Amino acid sequence: MAEFTEALFSIFFVETLINGLLLGGVLALLSLGLNLIFGVIDVVWICYAEIIMLGMYTIYFLHVDGGMPLIAAAAGGVGVTALLGWLTHRLVIGYLLDAAPINQLLATGGLLFFFQGLAMVAFGIEFRNLGVSLGSLALSEDIYLSWTRLLSFAIAAGVVIVLFQFLSRSYLGAAIRAISQDREIMVLMGVNTKKLYLLTSAIGGGLAGLAAALLAMQYDVHPFIGLSFGPITFMVCVMGGLGNMVGGFLAAFVFSELITIGGYFAELEWGYVLAFGFFIAAMFIRPEGLFARKS
Amino acid sequence: MSDFRNTRRFFIGLATICVALAMGFGAQAADKKIKIGVIYDYTGPLAGGGSDLQALGAKIMIDYINAKGGVEGYMIEPIYADAQSKPEVAINEAVRLIEQEKVDMLLGFYSSAQCVPVAAKVDSLKKFMWITTCISPAVLKDRNLKYVFRPQVHGAMFGELSVDFLNANSQAKMGIAPKDLRVAIIHEDGPYGSGVAGGNAGAAKKLGMNLVLKEGYSATAPDLSSLVTKLKRKRPDVILHTGYNPDITLFLRQAKEQGLRFKALIGHGAGYGVADKLYDALGNDVDHIYNVDPVSIWLLDPKSLAASLPEVTAKVGAEYEKAKPDVKVKSAHVGMAASNAHVFFTDVLPRAIKKYGGIDAESLRKAAMETDIAEGGTLLGFGVKFPKAGESDMMGQNTRASPVVMQYVKRKVYIAWPKALQTIDPVLPLPKSSPYAK
């Protein structure tokens, strides 16, 4: 108990809370694209984290082998993942829009293994690293914050605002929102749903590229990096209410705070036990997601 | 004249028969082969963490033995299988190789999480298994396996050596008495990390060191910031770390960004054994980090080894460079698998064939039980001897194996401990140039 009290009133608990917020920024960024795609097209891309992985490879090769500045390499990564998103819809999802959800899930699950295998054959199993560190911001003698994580947080918040504005204020955004509300009726109104789906998939893919740029600065790139993030991203989306971008954004922070606080007071793994336990409980209480609007 | 002709014909005939017989025997000898299932992780996260380098070492040795004409008339026929970094795949592949491919024995295994179940399975199938790499004590401890042998060092030895090193140097180098030394142990939570951490903790407690934290984590954890924060709160002088690869670089990066400071960091094999990758990811921050592992075979003084071995070490090094031309620091992983495979092909297998008449599991087991290699008799320097029945709770474990403590300085590897093998006066505590220096 004394240990617990000491930990609670220590300056390091403050650091833990801040770390939770910053991890939340990473998870929020990861979940944005997946949520957008689900919200509009009503299909869960299980392979989303693998598209991020391919984005990380693109950035790595452009920056390390191609000698491009990091910003340009990141832009290249966003371009490639946007194209991958477009292709995923054009070549796979487009044909499965009316299929049973389980078949859609299996198809994107197949893509997950395809992307993993492709990366392994093309790039090998070696861990690659950008070797870039943005350093950290010293708040006090004891508390340092990673610039990469601060950047992830800022970009995630920025993207949510921009996307929200885009969806609520632009003509295209209105069309995307309308199609997410009723797919059948929009066709009758003369809207080209196919085009809108492709555009949404490309935007979702591009967001994966943005996440890839920030992850590549924090993690090694290898064909299986998606396994570390795929399940957790999916859970964040479900907890926020699949398709609800603001809900997903908030859920990312609930999830990350539980992980870091649990990991601070007990062993690291207990943080995940706490977060996943909360997820299960939340699914019982609000199966439609914590932040889903009541219909 | 006719007698002479007949005699000549007789000798020509005799010579022809001899040549034919010799060719026949030759053909027969070349036909004989020992089928060996070689299992490592060629894909999945463990592959890049060191398993592919271990696999390369084993392959180099098999090719080397075959190029020399095999062993006692037997050519080696390897069947390489990929455990995909998953224990269940390792078990399935082991059973497939034994039951469908009808291999005579298995060799390899990088991950302890795979070794633990596979060793029990293979032993129950009464097949011979030669472990080159995985180190967890749990693979052999209290299991009394008959057909599983490990010339490799085991995990508790890793854990004990790093603590011995600190015990011997703490006062002299850091001015801290061992009992006042604040030690933190962090490890991946599989059998590998737990086994080494158990050795760390046992030895640290025995020497009365101040153990401020001991904690496991999943090697695939996407975030270790809470662990780093906890370490900052506990303020250890020394961190003893056992992990694979993505987790090691993630930990070191987050530790630097969050301002964790310490006096020494000692890693224990796996990801810490792949210096090139660490330097690629973290640059010169890697300098002065320690790694406990069986020694890199290229660091040993050739004079300390049996006369025939330095040539083999050089050959393995040349093949390694041929396979990986861009290697800067030769990884200990390659030499480890090559050496441990070399012991099997040059000591156990010839005895099984010559003395026990075959390559079945029983002959190989009897031959292995008689292995008695003195120090300096393997590429790794240590000797090999397996305990007799009832002598140990770890049957099949090489009792003469020992690791060393190495230190990375400017992309070079030096032996820091034991003193007899030292190639560097250990730099302790971390110099001010290190971002982790206290």
Cβ neighbours of A169 (radius 10 Å): 9
Residue B31, Cβ density class (10 Å: 0-12 exposed, 13-18 middle, ≥19 buried): exposed
Residues B104 and B184 in one domain: no
Query: Who among B85, B233, B283 is closest to A12 (CB)?
Result: B233
Asked if A228 has any chain B CB less than 8 Å from its own CB, the reply is yes
Check if A182 contacts B (Cβ < 8 Å): no
Q: Do A146 and B258 touch (CB under 8 A)?
A: yes
- Find the CATH number of the domain harbouring B318: 3.40.50.2300
- The Cα of B59 is separated from the nearest Cα of chain A by a number of Å equal to 18
Q: Which residue of B has its CA nearest to A261?
A: B226
The residues facing B188 across adjacent strands are B217
On chain B, the residues whose CB falls within 8 A of the CB of A267 are: 215-217
For residue A148, give the chain B residue with the closest CA: B257
Residue B144 exposed, middle or buried by CB count within 10 Å (0-12, 13-18, 19+): middle
Q: Is B250 on the interface with A (CB under 8 A)?
A: yes
* Same-domain pairing of B283 and B316: no
Q: How many domains does chain B have?
A: 3
The residue of chain B with its CA nearest to that of A271 is B226
Question: Could you identify the residue written with the tokens 């921009």?
Answer: A162
Q: List the structure tokens of B123.
A: 């032993």
Residue B215 has pLDDT above 70, yes or no: yes
Write down the pLDDT at residue B1: 43
Query: Domain residues for B284?
Result: 156-293+403-421
The answer to whether residue B60 is domain-embedded is: yes
Classify residue A194: in a domain, yes or no: yes
**Which residues of chain A lie closer than 8 angstroms to B221, CB-CB?**
228, 268-269, 272
**pLDDT score at B234:** 94
DSSP 8-class letter at B150: B
Q: Are residues B149 and B166 in the same domain?
A: no
Give yes or no: residues B277 and B414 share one domain.
yes
Q: Are residues B165 and B283 in the same domain?
A: yes
| Angle CA A102–A108–A112, to nearest 5 | 135
Cβ proximity of B141 and B191 under 8 Å: no
* Cis status of the peptide bond prior to A101, with omega within 30 of 0: no
Sign of CA dihedral B389, B390, B396, B402: negative
Tracing tokens 């095999």 back to the chain, one arrives at B70
Same domain, B163 and B216: yes
Report yes or no on B189 lying in a domain: yes
Whether residue B286 lies inside any domain: the answer is yes
Chain A environment of B324 (Cβ under 8 Å): none
pLDDT in tens, B68-120: 999 999 999 999 999 999 999 999 999 999 999 999 999 999 999 999 999 99
- C-alpha torsion B396→B401→B402→B406, nearest 10: -100
Residue type, position B224, single letter? L
Q: Which pLDDT belongs to residue B277?
A: 85
Beta-carbon separation of B259 and A144 below 8 A? yes
Note which residues in 126-155 of chain A have CB less than 8 A from chain B: 126-129, 131, 133, 135-136, 138, 142-149
State the Cα–Cα distance between residues A42 and A180, nearest whole angstrom.
Answer: 8
Distance from CA of A115 to the nearest CA of B (A): 14
Query: Are residue B161 and residue B260 in the same domain, yes or no?
Result: yes
Task: Report whether B408 contacts B288 (CB < 8 A).
Answer: yes
Residues from chain A that touch B246, judged by Cβ atoms under 8 A, are 127, 219-220, 222, 225, 228
* Min distance B217 CA to chain A CA atoms (Å): 6
B115 belongs to a structural domain: yes
Please give the Cα distance from B252 to B273 (Å, whole number): 15
Does one domain contain both B274 and B190? yes
Do residue B268 and residue B341 come from a single domain? no
Which chain B residue lies closest to A229 (C-alpha atoms)? B222
CA distance B405 to chain A (A): 25
H or E stretch including A283?
helix A268-285
Q: Is the residue at A190 inside a domain?
A: yes
DSSP string for residues in A86-144: HHHHHHTGGGGTTS-HHHHHHHHHHHHHHHHHHHHHHH-S--B-------EEESSSS-E
Picking from A225, A227, A268, the nearest residue to B226 by CB comes out as: A268
B274 and B410 in a single domain? The answer is yes
Q: Which of A224, A232, A260 sits opposite B45 (nearest CB)?
A: A224
B104 located within any domain = yes
Mean pLDDT of chain B: 91
Is residue B18 assigned to a domain?
Answer: yes
CB neighbour list of residue B64: distance below 8 Å, 6 or more residues apart = B312, B315, B316, B319
Nearest CA among B53, B83, B25 for reference residue B297: B53
Instruction: Kindly report the CATH number assigned to the domain that includes residue A154.
Output: 1.10.3470
Integer angstrom CA distances of residue B5 from B9, B15, B19, B49: 6, 15, 21, 73
Number of domains in chain A: 1
Q: What percent of chain B has pLDDT over 90?
A: 79
CB within 8 Å: B222 and A229: yes
Q: What is the pLDDT of residues A21-80, one digit of tens each?
A: 999 998 998 999 998 898 888 888 999 999 999 999 999 999 999 999 999 999 999 999
Residues of chain A with pLDDT under 50: 295
Would the pLDDT of B133 be above 80?
A: yes
Task: For B257-289, write each residue's pLDDT tens digit.
Answer: 999 999 999 999 888 988 888 998 899 999 999
Predicted confidence (pLDDT) at residue B251 exceeds the cutoff of 60: yes
CA-nearest residue to A232 within chain B is B222
- Residues of B within 8 A of A138 (CB-CB) are 259
From A60's Cα to the closest Cα of chain B, the distance in A is 12
List of chain A residues whose C-beta atoms are within 8 Å of the C-beta of residue B218:
268-269, 272
Question: Reduced to 3 states, what is the DSSP secondary structure of residue B33?
Answer: strand
pLDDT at B28: 45
pLDDT range class, residue B27, cuts 50, 70, 90: very low
Q: Which residues of chain A does B44 touch, with a Cβ-Cβ cutoff of 8 Å?
A: 125, 224
Q: How far is B292 from chain A (nearest CA, A)?
A: 22
Q: Could you tell me which residue, B391 or B49, shows the higher pLDDT? A: B391
Q: Are B264 and B241 in contact (CB under 8 A)?
A: no
Tell whether B109 and B162 lie within a shared domain: no
Q: Confirm if A94 and A222 have CB atoms less than 8 A apart.
A: no
Q: In which band, very low, low, confident or very high, does the pLDDT at B347 lie, cut at 50, 70 and 90?
A: very high
Contact map slice: B 80-139 vs A, CB within 8 A: 85
What does the pLDDT look like over A173-198, one tens digit per residue? 888 888 878 877 877 888 888 889 99
Provide the pLDDT for residue B16.
Answer: 53
Contact B229/A146, CB-based, under 8 Å? no
Residue A259, chain B, CB below 8 Å: the answer is: yes
Q: How far apart are the CA of B23 and the nearest CA of chain A, in angstroms?
A: 44
Is the pLDDT at B67 greater than 70, yes or no?
yes
B-contacting residues of A 10-69, CB under 8 Å? 10, 12, 15-16, 19, 22-23
Q: Give the range of the structural domain holding residue A273, as residue numbers without chain letter.
A: 22-125+138-285
Inside any domain, residue B8? yes
- With beta carbons less than 8 A apart as the criterion, state whether B133 and B340 touch: yes
| Residue B346, pLDDT above cutoff 60 | yes
Nearest to A292 by CA among A255, A254, A240: A240
Q: Do B49 and A127 touch (CB under 8 A)?
A: yes
In DSSP notation, B211-259 reads EEEEEEE-TT-S--HHHHHHHHHH--SEEEEE--SHHHHHHHHHHHHTT
Does residue A232 belong to any structural domain of this protein? yes
Mean of the pLDDT values across residues B150-179? 95
Shortest Cα distance, chain B CAs vs residue A126, angstroms: 5
Residue A156 lies in a domain: yes
* B52 min Cα distance to partner chain A (Å): 9
Chain-chain contact of A228 with B246 (C-beta, under 8 angstroms):
yes
A260/B222 Cβ within 8 A = no
CA distance B382 to B129: 21
Q: Is residue A132 part of a domain?
A: no
Q: Are strands B384-385 and B372-373 parallel, antiparallel or unpaired?
A: antiparallel
Do both B182 and B276 map to the same domain?
yes
B409-413 LR contacts (CB < 8 Å, sep 24+): B409/B287, B409/B288, B410/B284, B410/B287, B411/B275, B411/B279, B411/B328, B411/B329, B412/B329, B413/B275, B413/B291, B413/B296, B413/B299, B413/B329, B413/B332
Count CB-CB contacts under 10 A for residue B308: 9
Contact B52, B60 (CB under 8 A): no
Q: Can you say how many angstroms the Cα of residue A228 is from the centroid of all Cα atoms in its chain?
A: 12
Q: Quick one: how far is CA A215 from the chain centroid?
A: 10
